[in-house]
């Protein structure tokens, strides 16, 4: 019987394969490029390309592609065959170093946010050797960055790599202060948990709103939703288990470390959690995971829904971004230590993260801002839109002790001073988890729970890496050359706690009292994407990105424009879909049922039978159709008005405040009507049939 160890990573051109296929000199040169970021010599690239081609062909590949992540949020690929014409009219299988390291896909149809005109089509892909090439559907996929002819980043990978480089640079400065001269690199690591829904494909095809928008725009809740909490961690249905088995096998072949699978809270909702990887590899793997989830689901006649809120009234889907920092020597910089030096080092990296989240809470909110995630944040076990941090009671007690210079309870005789007293051991699970916190410390990492299920994790990690890099830079600037390092370090940590403790909240983020408390603390409450996105262009944020060479000013403005445009397009598609369903299906169907009831009343009158039910139901339906029609006209008017609004931020806010609110009003009336219209007259499959479609 085939074992997982027999085929894990079998479709990946990983380190083991490279070592066996490349000469010793070529292998060492490539590893130096990967580790130090040095440019690859063309002769080495030719050798790597030759080995990669031969390996790929042996695995059945016929084509190659530069696999990249444009600002659409999904991946892109253009396939080229290995074949080249021979002098005798036949073909040879060829792949050269220049084709490995650089490609030229047409860039004109990808979103650029004004970085280039439509007529400027040239774009370049550049090989990212830190992320292994792999084979998918008989195509050799080479992970690449994507940039314009003039050098601007047109993708999500390039700024992510830049942010990792920025954090590495500043973290190394800090570590040298603690005597870690052996550390040569610091990388952020991420384990993104992926939530998703599975529904039957035949049921899915009966819902145009799901097809066009990824979420149900209408639908009355079934008698049973998630109230009994019987789906969470429940027995996995055979059909779903078969999907998970196939999914695991495909992911494992691609070296994706999918480990944990289970039912989530809502009916038809599930989760897959991977083992931690270096951030850019984790981002690549998560994009692959989403793609393969959807492909495998179709093989089982199901559809995988990655929308953040496909069903109103039950849990939405997120992507928990578990983030930490690790050295090449094996140190987790967010792991509390057992010696004074380790304690101090941990606390300095901890307060740097606290300060980063507080000062750049707007950027973290922007990093998870989308039309879909707006429906999820703050609802049914998703974290609120207010960014805050959870550190737990034990760690909070340590921070309080430092802030007040008072004895820590396990150090009854003296106050906790950095570098003198040993920090009490803080085991990984020292406190309970806080599911209501957007940014929670969970033992040796932070869990950023606000990321949406359909989103790339790149943006969240770009923001986080860059913000922490900035604080580490300030700390290093302050401590380098210190004549009394221990006291200066203690003062720095203490002052940081005092100035930024407002961001720490260990209570219930769902409580209405927290909204008032957060406002009192001066925290931002950016409830929607249109409210969050303008902060992209705040001067402090522009200064942050440009000073660390993450984005140029034009690249920042481009991403702002793209995010606004994406929101506008999505809401417009949803509104047009809602109108189509109302005009062609809901109003005619409700009227048809009312007409049936009218005929029934006539028949009953001839037989002198009571028709109270029919009469009262017709009154309710008449009121409903009148209200739906009136609101529909208003919705059409607001959409027409939207076409006259020139400023992009005004347009997105108009859609948020006027269009989405009208859609919600109409939905309420339609959903109420669904509860009284005969099933054979209702035009679409119900919520219950969708949520429980996979038997």
Name the domain boundary from 483, 517, 551: 551
In sequence order, the 6+-apart residues with CB closer than 8 A to the CB of 644 are none
Is 353 within the bounds of a domain?
yes
pTM for the predicted model, two decimal places: 0.92
- CATH code of the domain containing 662: 1.20.120.1560
Give the Cα separation of 468 and 462 in Å (integer). Answer: 10
Task: Check pLDDT > 80 for residue 101.
Answer: yes
Tokens 């929101």 belong to residue:
567
Question: How would residue 223 be classed by pLDDT, with cut points 50, 70 and 90?
Answer: confident
Q: pLDDT digits over 160-177, tens only?
A: 999 999 999 999 999 999
Q: Say yes or no: 464 and 346 in one domain.
A: yes
Is 561 within the bounds of a domain?
no
* Residue 196, pLDDT score: 97
Is 93 within the bounds of a domain?
yes
Count of structural domains within the chain:
3
Among 125, 132, 99, 103, CA closest to 30: 132
Helical spans, DSSP H, in 431-483? 458-479
Helical spans, DSSP H, in 178-309? 201-204, 208-213, 238-253, 279-299
Beta bridge partners of 305: 197
* Residue 427, pLDDT score: 47
Give the Cα separation of 454 and 308 in Å (integer). Answer: 7
Which span out of 401-410, 424-433, 608-617, 651-660 was modeled with the highest average pLDDT? 651-660
- Tell me the average pLDDT across 438-459: 94
Give the Cα separation of 157 and 70 in Å (integer). Answer: 8
Among 480, 156, 465, 502, CA closest to 324: 465
Better-predicted residue by pLDDT, 379 or 444: 444
Q: pLDDT digits over 151-162, tens only?
A: 788 899 999 999
Is 328 within the bounds of a domain?
yes
Among 659, 666, 668, CA closest to 638: 659
Q: pLDDT digits over 307-357, tens only?
A: 999 999 999 999 999 999 999 999 999 988 776 667 889 999 999 999 999
Question: How would residue 108 be classed by pLDDT, with cut points 50, 70 and 90?
Answer: low
In sequence order, the 6+-apart residues with CB closer than 8 A to the CB of 369 are 526, 528, 529, 532, 533, 563
Q: Say yes or no: 529 and 574 in one domain.
A: no
Q: In this structure, how many other beta carbons lie within 10 angstroms of the beta carbon of residue 182?
A: 9
Q: pLDDT digits over 235-280, tens only?
A: 899 999 999 999 999 999 999 999 999 999 999 999 999 998 999 9
Beta bridge partners of 304: 198
Give the Cα separation of 165 and 162 in Å (integer). Answer: 5
Question: How would residue 67 be classed by pLDDT, with cut points 50, 70 and 90?
Answer: very high
Question: How would residue 465 be classed by pLDDT, with cut points 50, 70 and 90?
Answer: very high
3-state class (DSSP) for residue 80:
strand
Better-predicted residue by pLDDT, 417 or 21: 21
Task: Check pLDDT > 60 for residue 26.
Answer: yes
DSSP 235: P
- CATH code of the domain containing 380: 3.30.590.10
Q: Say yes or no: 149 and 168 in one domain.
A: no
Is 527 within the bounds of a domain?
yes
* Residue 407, pLDDT score: 67
CB 308 within 8 A of CB 373: yes
* Residue 118, pLDDT score: 52
Q: Say yes or no: 150 and 253 in one domain.
A: no
Question: How would residue 653 be classed by pLDDT, with cut points 50, 70 and 90?
Answer: very high
Question: How would residue 124 be classed by pLDDT, with cut points 50, 70 and 90?
Answer: confident
Question: How would residue 674 be classed by pLDDT, with cut points 50, 70 and 90?
Answer: very high
Name the domain boundary from 509, 524, 551: 551
3-class DSSP string for 560-608? HHHHHHHHHHHHHHHHHHHHHHHHHHHHHHHHHHHHHHHHHHHHHHHCC
Better-predicted residue by pLDDT, 593 or 90: 593
In sequence order, the 6+-apart residues with CB closer than 8 A to the CB of 592 are 681
Q: Say yes or no: 75 and 170 in one domain.
A: no
Q: Say yes or no: 615 and 545 in one domain.
A: no
Q: Say yes or no: 77 and 99 in one domain.
A: yes
Q: pLDDT digits over 277-309, tens only?
A: 999 999 999 999 999 999 999 999 999 999 999
Question: How would residue 35 be classed by pLDDT, with cut points 50, 70 and 90?
Answer: confident
Task: List the single range of 78-87, 545-554, 660-669 with lowest mean pLDDT.
Answer: 78-87
CB 278 within 8 A of CB 189: yes
Q: In this structure, how many other beta carbons lie within 10 angstroms of the beta carbon of residue 419?
A: 18
Q: In this structure, how many other beta carbons lie within 10 angstroms of the beta carbon of residue 85?
A: 10
Find the Cα–Cα–Cα–Cα dihedral 601, 607, 610, 613, rounded to 10°: -30
* Residue 123, pLDDT score: 74
Is 18 within the bounds of a domain?
yes
Give the Cα separation of 649 and 403 in Å (integer). Answer: 42
- Tell me the average pLDDT across 648-668: 97
CA dihedral sign, ordered 565, 567, 568, 574: positive
Q: Say yes or no: 140 and 264 in one domain.
A: no
Task: Check pLDDT > 70 for residue 430.
Answer: no
Among 10, 7, 99, 17, CA closest to 51: 17
Task: Check pLDDT > 60 for residue 519.
Answer: yes
Is 434 within the bounds of a domain?
yes
* Residue 66, pLDDT score: 93
Q: Say yes or no: 508 and 639 in one domain.
A: no
Tokens 């429980």 belong to residue:
692
Tokens 């007259």 belong to residue:
681
How large is the greatest C-alpha to C-alpha distance in the chain, in angstroms?
103
Task: Check pLDDT > 90 for residue 421.
Answer: no
What does pLDDT average to over the chain? 90
Q: Say yes or no: 123 and 64 in one domain.
A: yes
Tokens of 284: 């690549």
- Tell me the average pLDDT across 76-87: 79
Q: Say yes or no: 111 and 190 in one domain.
A: no
Q: pLDDT digits over 362-415, tens only?
A: 999 999 999 999 999 865 456 788 999 999 888 888 898 888 877 666 544 445
Give the Cα separation of 647 and 116 in Å (integer). Answer: 20
* Residue 395, pLDDT score: 86
Name the domain boundary from 551, 576, 596: 551
The domain in which residue 110 lies consists of 4-155
Give the Cα separation of 652 and 660 in Å (integer). Answer: 11
Is 558 within the bounds of a domain?
no
Q: Say yes or no: 686 and 613 in one domain.
A: yes
């Amino acid at each position: 019987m085939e074992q997982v160890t027999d085929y894990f990573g079998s479709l990946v051109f990983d380190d083991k394969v490279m070592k066996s296929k490349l000469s010793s000199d070529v292998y060492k040169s490539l590893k130096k490029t990967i580790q130090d970021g040095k440019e690859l010599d063309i002769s080495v690239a030719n050798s790597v390309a030759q080995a990669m081609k031969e390996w790929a062909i042996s695995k059945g590949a016929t084509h190659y592609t530069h696999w990249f992540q444009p600002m659409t949020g999904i991946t892109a690929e253009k396939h080229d065959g290995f074949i080249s014409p021979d002098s005798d009219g036949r073909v040879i299988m060829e792949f050269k170093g220049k084709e490995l390291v650089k490609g030229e896909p047409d860039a004109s149809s990808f979103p650029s946010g004004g970085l280039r005109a439509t007529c400027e089509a040239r774009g370049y892909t550049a090989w990212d050797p830190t992320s292994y090439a792999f084979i998918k559907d008989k195509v050799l996929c080479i992970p690449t960055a994507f940039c314009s002819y003039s050098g601007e980043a047109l993708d999500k990978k390039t700024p992510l790599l830049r942010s990792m480089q920025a954090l590495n640079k500043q973290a190394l400065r800090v570590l040298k202060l603690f005597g870690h001269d052996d550390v040569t690199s610091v990388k952020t690591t991420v384990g993104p948990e992926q939530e998703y829904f599975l529904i039957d494909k035949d049921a899915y095809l009966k819902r145009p709103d799901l097809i066009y928008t990824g979420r149900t725009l209408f639908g009355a809740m079934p008698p049973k939703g998630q109230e009994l909490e019987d789906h969470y961690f429940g027995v996995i249905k055979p059909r779903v288990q078969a999907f998970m088995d196939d999914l695991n096998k495909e992911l494992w072949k691609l070296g994706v470390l999918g480990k944990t699978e289970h039912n989530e809270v809502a009916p038809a909702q599930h989760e897959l959690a991977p083992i931690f990887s270096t951030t850019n590899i984790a981002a690549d793997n998560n994009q692959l995971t989403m793609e393969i989830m959807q492909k495998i689901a179709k093989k089982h006649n199901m559809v995988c829904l990655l929308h953040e809120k496909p069903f109103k009234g039950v849990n939405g889907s997120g992507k928990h971004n578990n983030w930490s920092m690790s050295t090449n020597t094996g140190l987790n910089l967010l792991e509390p230590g057992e010696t004074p030096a380790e304690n101090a080092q941990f606390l300095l990296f901890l307060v740097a993260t606290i300060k980063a989240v507080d000062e750049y809470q707007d950027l973290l909110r922007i990093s998870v801002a989308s039309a879909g995630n707006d429906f999820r944040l703050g609802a049914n076990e998703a974290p609120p839109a207010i960014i805050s941090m959870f550190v737990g009671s034990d760690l909070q007690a340590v921070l309080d002790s430092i802030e007040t210079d008072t004895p820590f309870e396990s150090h009854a005789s003296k106050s906790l001073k950095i570098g003198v007293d040993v920090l009490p051991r803080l085991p990984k699970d020292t406190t309970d988890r806080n599911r209501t916190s957007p940014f929670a410390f969970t033992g040796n990492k932070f869990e950023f729970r606000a990321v949406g299920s359909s989103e790339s994790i790149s943006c969240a990690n770009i923001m986080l890496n860059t913000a922490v890099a900035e604080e580490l830079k300030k700390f290093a600037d302050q401590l380098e050359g210190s004549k009394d390092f221990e006291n200066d370090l203690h003062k720095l940590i203490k002052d940081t706690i005092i100035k930024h403790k407002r961001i720490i909240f260990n209570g219930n983020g769902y409580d209405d009292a927290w909204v008032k408390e957060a406002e009192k603390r001066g925290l931002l409450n950016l409830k929607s994407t249109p409210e969050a996105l303008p902060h992209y262009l705040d001067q402090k944020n522009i200064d942050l990105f440009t000073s660390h060479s993450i984005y140029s000013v034009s690249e920042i403005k481009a991403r702002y424009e793209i995010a606004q445009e994406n929101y506008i397009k999505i809401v417009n598609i949803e509104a047009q879909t809602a109108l189509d369903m109302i005009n062609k299906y809901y109003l005619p169907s409700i009227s048809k049922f009312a007409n049936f009831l009218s005929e029934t009343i006539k028949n009953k009158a001839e037989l002198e039978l009571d028709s109270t039910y029919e009469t009262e139901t017709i009154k309710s339906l008449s009121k409903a159709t009148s209200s739906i029609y009136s609101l529909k006209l208003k919705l059409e008017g607001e959409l027409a008005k939207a076409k006259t609004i020139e400023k992009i931020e005004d347009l997105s806010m108009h859609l948020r405040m006027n269009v989405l609110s009208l859609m919600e009003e109409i939905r309420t009336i339609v959903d109420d009507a669904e509860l009284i219209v005969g099933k054979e007259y209702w035009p679409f499959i119900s919520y219950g049939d969708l949520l429980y479609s996979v038997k």
